[in-house]
Chain A
């Protein structure tokens, strides 16, 4: 299964509770020959076409710092690390 960075941006104007800068990538996974996209932050610089792997993060942004009610959703997930 390959995981290729399809698009990325480095966001410098981030909302409360979000790291700054916040580098985001859309990654294409190959699942049984079908391309499936996922979006997430990256742990380091990334370029279009880079191969990445997911890395678990317990808290992607600070719950309660922003407008959304902390208990209304979960806050853990995966960031992408360049292989």
Chain B
């Protein structure tokens, strides 16, 4: 069964006064307002969220949201796949409709983080690590530092190329009114910023963010009854890599990105060359290179050349992170994978405003941990 997305929304990302329940309601209501359907038609409700219990002491957010949106009676489930919870939510929402279990499924992803200190947030996120890694104080930024040094040395890539990812995504973010950071930066600013995990500096990392995003799924034949304004989930897949990061044979190959990408491309019956726009999980600048290579957008060790040539800029052959990416738009963990698809939905329907690029097919890649859990989704405009 072909699955459509007929509604999308996201809240303003950044430091918000709202708590998790309010953030989820804000995006959920806006999504239902965006779609021409009654909320009584929603049969399944999924909430993508990594750690509301750890961040805020609020568990059971799926039941809370069903209550708060007036959907009591609907099946409700929380989806946690760490930073890839949003992408996993997309996969589950697609499954719920494609299987015939639900004719209308609402997915809301969100996270409330900024009331915690950076150290506390880092520790909550690092709690996904293997016990051997955790006791050494390993964090996701430290994995990024280890990998970035290896990549730069092995492939003779200039340090500036990583800064150029940040510069590009910040420039894109200035065109997104819902982005956390809406200011341009230059390479010098990025290279002069404080060291976080050598050789990576502050502007190589996404911020801590509050926010929420939502999508509404239904069968394509049902979508036709309501509207012509919808997109189709052409391909979606998920995969895992080793829990212990240093066990991976090649640190520059994100195996779960490769596997989920191959699955999504196979289902959509298309190739990397057929993708017009992509949202990649740039939690760290190095991840944009690694995902480009794992998805077939560049050969191994060569992604940095495409970025330096401007091919991934808004006016390039393959615009990447037109939303500003996690780097500029922000990274509320459970919301990010949903917000990536919201951006593609807007791009494919011509509603991206000053960020609009020509696009009939888009790809989103959502990464949990340091590539531990990954989902890849391909959307197409209706033919």
Q: Is the CB of A34 closer than 8 A to any CB of chain B? A: no
Report, as a range, how many residues of chain B touch the other chain.
Answer: 35 or more
**B133-144 to A contact mask, C-beta < 8 Å, 1/0:** 111111101100
User: Which B254-285 residues have a C-beta within 8 angstroms of A?
Assistant: none
Q: How far is the CB of A58 from chain B (nearest CB, A)?
A: 12
In-complex Cβ contact of A12 among B138, B196, B245, B251 (8 A): B196
B interface majority secondary structure: helix
Report whether B135 and A13 are in contact in the complex, using a CB–CB cutoff of 8 Å: no
In-complex Cβ contact of A39 among B119, B133, B147 (8 A): B133
User: Which A3-21 residues have a C-beta within 8 angstroms of B?
Assistant: 6-19
In-complex Cβ contact of A61 among B118, B132, B135, B145 (8 A): B135
Q: Is the CB of A22 closer than 8 A to any CB of chain B? A: yes
A24 to B200, alpha carbons, bound, how many Å? 14
In-complex Cβ contact of A68 among B122, B134, B197 (8 A): B134
Given A39-B136, A41-B136, A77-B136, answer yes or no on A16-B197 (Cβ-Cβ < 8 Å).
no
Report whether A67 and B197 are in contact in the complex, using a CB–CB cutoff of 8 Å: no
**B195-219 to A contact mask, C-beta < 8 Å, 1/0:** 1111110000000000000000000
Q: Is the CB of B16 closer than 8 A to any CB of chain A? A: no
Q: Is the CB of B95 closer than 8 A to any CB of chain A? A: no
Chain A positions within 8 Å of B, measured between CB atoms, are 6-19, 22, 24, 26, 37-41, 48, 60-61, 66-68, 72-75, 77
The 6 A-B residue pairs with the shortest CB-CB distance in the complex, in nearest-first order: A9-B145, A18-B137, A15-B123, A73-B131, A11-B142, A10-B198
Cβ contacts A to B, 14 pairs, < 8 Å = A9-B198, A12-B197, A13-B118, A13-B196, A14-B139, A15-B119, A16-B119, A17-B137, A24-B138, A24-B142, A26-B246, A39-B133, A68-B134, A77-B136
